[in-house]
Each structure stands twice: as C-alpha cells, then as structure tokens.
C-alpha cells in the first residue's frame, strides 16, 4: 500500500480566485526519494502543506479531493496526529528553532506527545546522531551556521519518528557546500532508515543523482512524473523552464551528434564512466 | 573612474573580523562576480562600496572620493546597492512610491520621475502592481521591485547582493538577460553562490573569490571556475562540465579540463572518440 495517496486534490486559498492546486492525483510508495520541482508559484509549497495537514487545518480555503498519509485522511486527523507520521522542514531554519539549545529544540516535539522520559531521551539521541548534531547539542541555535541550523531542524522533525520527511527548498539559504551536505544527509535518511522523502528543490544538478522520482508541477498541476532520467530528457521539461543539469544537456548534444550512451548520466563521474565504456579504452 | 579598495580591514563591534586586507579596483563598464562561503565577508565587502560600512583600516575611493568624506546618500547616487533580502529594502506603501522614492530624494524633476517610474514598471513586468503594497508580493516580485527601485536612478556602479537566491531557473534566465542589457558604461557587480549561473554568463565576468575575509582569487571566471582547488576553498560546488572532463582524464582520456561550455565539451569528446575508434 502506498504511504501517500492523493486523489482529485483541488485547493484554493481563502480570498484567492485561482486554485493553488488544480487536480492532483499522486501515489508515493514507502521509502521513495521524490523530487518536487517547477517554476515559482507552481504549487509545490501548497502541496507540501497538504501532506502534513497544515492545509486544511491551518491554512483555510476550498479543499476538494482526498489526501491519505500513512493511512490517515488528513481532513479527519489533526496536525499533531499527522506530525507523528509526516515531518515538514521549511526553507528558513531560523523560523523553526526557538529553544535555548539544539537538544531542547529536538526534544520539543516528543515532549508534546507526552511520551515517557526514557523514550524522549532515546528519540532525541537518535535524531541528534542521525543528523550529525550530537556534538553540537548543547549549543544555542543562533550560534550555528545555516547548514547546522537546518540539520537541527531536520533532527527536530526526525525525533517524531515520521514515515515521511518533506523538505520545502531546505537549502535555499545555504552556501553550495552546505546545501550538498544537507542533500547527502537526506539521502542517507531515506536509504539507511527507509524514510520516504519528498524534497522540493530548484537546483536539480544537486539532487537528481539521489532521486527515484522527479515530479514537475506547473500551475497547480502535475506536468511530469517519472524517473529523473525520463523527466530531464523530455522536451516538456525544457519547455517548462526547469534547470536541466549540464551533464544531461551534454548527453543530449552528444546524442544529436550520433553518440548514444547506454543511459542518461546524472553526475559528471557517471558520464565519464559511460563514455569510457563506449570508447573501450583511452589507451 | 573606479571603485578602489586599498588594504581594507573591517571588524564588527562584536569583534568579528569580516574583512582582512582587501585590495581591488572595479572600473566603469566591468562585470564582476563575487563568490565565497557564507560568512566570507561578501555582503560586508559590497557595503563598503557605498559607505554603509567604513573600513576600520585602509580606504575605499569612489571616483577618487574617500567614502569617509561622503554621506551614504551622496555615494549612492553613483553606487546602487540592491540587498539580498528585499524585506530589508522595501518600505513604501505602493510599488510606484517605492520606485519613485530615491528619484525624489535625488531631486529629479516630476516629469522625469514619472517617465522613469513608468519605464521601470514596464521593464520589470510590475505594471499591474503599481498601486499595490510591495509587502504583499511574492518573494520573486519583491526582488524585482527592489532591483527596479535602484536601477531607476541609473547608478554608475550597480551592485546586486545574491539576486539569484530562491529564484527559479526561468527567473534566473531573465535576470541574466537583464544584466546583459545593463552592461556598457555601467559596472555590474553581483554576489552569488550559483556556480552554473556564472558559468553560463556572457560576456564572461571577472570573478573574485573571498574566504574568511580575504581575497583568495581574482581573475577570469573561466580560469577560476575550472580550478577545483579554488572552488573547494570557496566551498562552492564544482561546475559539471569541467568535472566531466576531469573525470574523463582520470580514466585516461587525453582531454583539457579548462572548459565551461557544454558545446565545447561536446566537440572535445567527439574528437577523442573519433580518434579512439578511428
């Protein structure tokens, strides 16, 4: 059974004339790593908010269709209940950290669930270690770099032991090396702990090598949905104006010159290896 | 005519040394990109250009005038700084007032103000928001208002701090076109983290790398972006095209690696494959 099932989802924010989501049907399996992309204003953030119940419980509007996450219909379950299954990490980590220490921030969610002390301890320790924040657990969030803050925010969500981790452009405020670290961490949580990941992101060269699936949205609808290779090489992706990674563009140029590779590379290393395979050897 | 920094040092009141002995010259008509990790001093550096930050040691000259001898308002007539976060810059009640604000302060004539504001609204696709509060706009739209409100007075040196942050690919493409249209007599200085965006820039910019408040590289973008050591020191992500060529070379292929262009990389790969399969 899929971990996320969306049927006929339409949502229009109160006071808005145009629907932010205009007919979404989508099913995501447990353990998948899914990239969500598309031009600004395409509905990515709104979709993320629908997955953890912020819509319709916090943001109001006209909601049609169904969103089922870990077997729970989001309309019938409160945000705190859904938070035990779905964690949402936002763009700006500063907006998510408010305690005096990282550890207290990470403990905040499990404490609110009223769990026994030992269980809280166990979860907090696990989340701090899984995100590489153990050494920094007694630091104040405002003393940390942006990348460390974002790790702390992820740890806070992980301490709820969610099935699904949703990240809405989590690297926008980080420098490139900090961004690459966060993406590698998210991939580890997906592959190593079986957490389903839905990652909204513009910089596809950074995330494509890790993903099982790439979904491109446009005007509140799903325009493309497939493997990164399928999506990035489709003509529609170019029309939609998403940033095609340079290796994929290079692969396309080589193909039009008659050089076919066995598959579409998603990283420079992979491209070099495929070319070497085709050449036999470079002597 | 130039912005000249002579051994500029700057420490914040909390003791953080943000700039440590920076010397550089930006001439009229130049196109300069500044890159480096978060906390490297990039924003501090560009704030010295219009006197928002005055060096603790060393000096900054704008067209020969020491920034210590002039007000920010006077310096801003020539040096237009567009901030990273538009929320720190926008404060008027409507987009139109926002764009007209500096023009009024600089004492432009009414007719001229109207003409320029109309031009800016049109150029940045903001006509429908003329009477709207800038604060209700989306992040991308706010960035456009912030940019328009500076460009409208045609500063000789235009400085953009992280204009690509949070922008999608199509918005970045439009920004690239816009910047290309602005060059000429004007100098354009842009702070960004976006390696692939810079790799695609035409004409190719001069690139300055900062790390820990020091200048670690200053030269042609095509030389610096294809030097992995420089890229790693500045905590940037290596651009993909030279990385493909470097990986090929490590596997034994006889290729140069100082290439940023996808088309050029294609030609190189086709030529070695042609030679190899003979």
What does pTM read for this prediction? 0.88
pLDDT, tens digit, 9 for 90 and up, residues A84-130 = 999 999 888 877 788 889 999 999 999 998 899 999 999 999 999 99
The reply to whether residue B237 touches residue A254, judged by beta carbons under 8 angstroms, is no
Average pLDDT of the residues of chain B? 92
pLDDT, tens digit, 9 for 90 and up, residues B139-170 = 778 888 999 999 999 999 999 999 888 788 88
The alpha-carbon gap from B36 to the nearest alpha carbon of chain A, in Å, equals 8
The reply to whether residue A272 touches residue B248, judged by beta carbons under 8 angstroms, is yes
Phi then psi dihedrals of residue A86, to 5 deg: -130, 125
Interface list for A 128-157 with B (CB within 8 A): 145-146
Task: Choose the mutation target among B39, B248, B264, B278 for the interface with A, i.e. most A CBs under 10 Å.
Answer: B248
State yes or no: pLDDT of A15 exceeds 90.
no
pLDDT, tens digit, 9 for 90 and up, residues B164-187 = 887 888 888 888 888 888 888 899
The alpha-carbon gap from A90 to the nearest alpha carbon of chain B, in Å, equals 13
The band of B275, judged by pLDDT with boundaries at 50, 70 and 90, is low
Q: Across the interface, which of A180, A205, A279 has its CB nearest the CB of B273?
A: A279
Judged by a CB distance cut-off of 8 A, whether residue A40 touches chain B is yes
The alpha-carbon gap from B253 to the nearest alpha carbon of chain A, in Å, equals 5
Judged by a CB distance cut-off of 8 A, whether residue A71 touches chain B is no
Query: ipTM value of the model?
Result: 0.87
List CB contacts (< 8 A) between B235 and chain A: 175-178
The reply to whether residue B276 touches residue A283, judged by beta carbons under 8 angstroms, is yes
pLDDT value for B278 = 39
Contacts A–B by Cβ distance under 8 A: 130
Domain ranges of chain B: 1-78+155-221, 90-154, 239-278
For residue A219, give every residue at least 6 positions away whose Cβ sits within 8 Å of its Cβ, in sequence order, or none: A22, A42, A43
Q: Across the interface, which of A146, A241, A259 has its CB nearest the CB of B270?
A: A259
Place of tokens 């104040």: A140
List CB contacts (< 8 A) between A280 and chain B: 276
Place of tokens 């060096």: B55
Give the residue among B27, B87, B38, B24 at the shortest CA–CA distance from B211.
B38
- The CATH number given to B1-78+155-221 is 3.40.50.300
List CB contacts (< 8 A) between B263 and chain A: 253
- Per-residue pLDDT, averaged over A145-160, amounts to 92
For residue A86, give every residue at least 6 positions away whose Cβ sits within 8 Å of its Cβ, in sequence order, or none: A51, A52, A53, A69, A70, A162, A163, A164, A165, A166
């Amino acid at each position: 059974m899929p971990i996320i099932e969306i049927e006929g989802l339409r949502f229009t924010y109160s006071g808005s004339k145009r629907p932010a989501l205009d007919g979404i049907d989508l099913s995501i399996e447990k353990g998948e790593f899914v990239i969500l992309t598309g031009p600004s204003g395409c509905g990515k953030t709104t979709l993320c908010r629908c997955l953890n119940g912020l819509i319709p419980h916090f943001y109001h509007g006209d909601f049609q269709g169904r969103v089922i996450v870990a077997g729970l219909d989001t309309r019938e379950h409160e945000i705190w209940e859904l938070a035990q299954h779905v964690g949402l990490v936002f763009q700006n980590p500063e907006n998510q950290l408010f305690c005096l220490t990282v550890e207290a921030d990470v403990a905040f969610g499990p404490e609110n669930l009223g769990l026994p002390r030992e269980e809280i301890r166990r979860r907090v320790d696990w989340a701090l270690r899984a995100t590489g924040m153990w050494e920094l657990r007694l630091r104040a969030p405002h003393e940390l770099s942006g990348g460390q803050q974002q790790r702390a925010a992820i740890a806070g969500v992980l301490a709820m032991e969610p099935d699904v981790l949703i990240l809405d452009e989590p690297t926008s405020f980080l420098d490139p090396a900090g961004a690459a670290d966060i993406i590698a961490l998210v991939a580890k949580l997906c592959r190593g702990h079986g957490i389903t990941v839905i990652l909204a992101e513009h910089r596809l060269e950074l995330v494509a090598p890790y993903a099982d699936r790439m979904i491109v949205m446009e005007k509140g609808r799903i325009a493309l949905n497939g493997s990164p290779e399928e999506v990035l090489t489709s003509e529609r992706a170019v029309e939609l104006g998403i940033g095609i990674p340079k290796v994929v563009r290079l692969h396309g140029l080589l193909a039009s010159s008659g050089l076919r590779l066995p598959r579409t590379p998603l990283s420079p290393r992979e491209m070099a290896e495929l070319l070497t395979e085709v050449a036999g050897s470079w002597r | 005519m130039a912005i000249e920094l002579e051994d500029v040092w700057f420490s914040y009141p909390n003791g953080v040394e943000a700039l440590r002995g920076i010397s550089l010259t930006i001439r009229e008509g130049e196109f300069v990109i500044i890159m480096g990790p978060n906390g490297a001093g990039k924003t501090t550096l560009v704030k010295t250009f219009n006197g928002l930050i005055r060096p603790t040691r060393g000096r900054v000259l704008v067209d020969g005038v020491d920034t210590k001898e002039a007000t920010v308002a006077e310096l801003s007539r020539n040096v237009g700084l567009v901030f990273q976060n538009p929320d720190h810059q926008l404060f008027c009640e409507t987009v139109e007032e926002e764009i007209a604000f500096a023009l009024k302060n600089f004492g432009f004539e009414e007719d001229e103000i109207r003409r320029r504001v109309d031009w800016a609204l049109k150029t940045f696709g903001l006509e429908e928001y003329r009477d709207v509060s800038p604060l209700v706009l989306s992040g991308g739209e706010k960035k456009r208002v912030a940019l328009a409100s500076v460009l409208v007075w045609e500063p000789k040196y235009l400085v953009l701090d992280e204009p690509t942050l949070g922008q999608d690919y199509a918005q970045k493409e439009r920004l690239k076109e816009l910047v290309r249209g602005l060059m000429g007599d004007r100098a354009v200085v842009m702070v960004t983290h976006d390696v692939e965006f810079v790799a695609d820039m035409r004409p190719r910019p001069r690139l300055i790398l900062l790390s820990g408040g020091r200048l670690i590289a200053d030269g042609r973008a095509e030389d610096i972006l294809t030097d992995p050591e420089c890229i790693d020191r500045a905590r940037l992500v290596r651009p993909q095209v030279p990385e493909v060529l470097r990986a090929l070379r490590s596997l034994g292929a006889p290729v140069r690696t100082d290439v940023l262009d996808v088309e050029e990389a294609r030609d190189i790969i086709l030529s070695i494959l042609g030679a190899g399969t003979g």
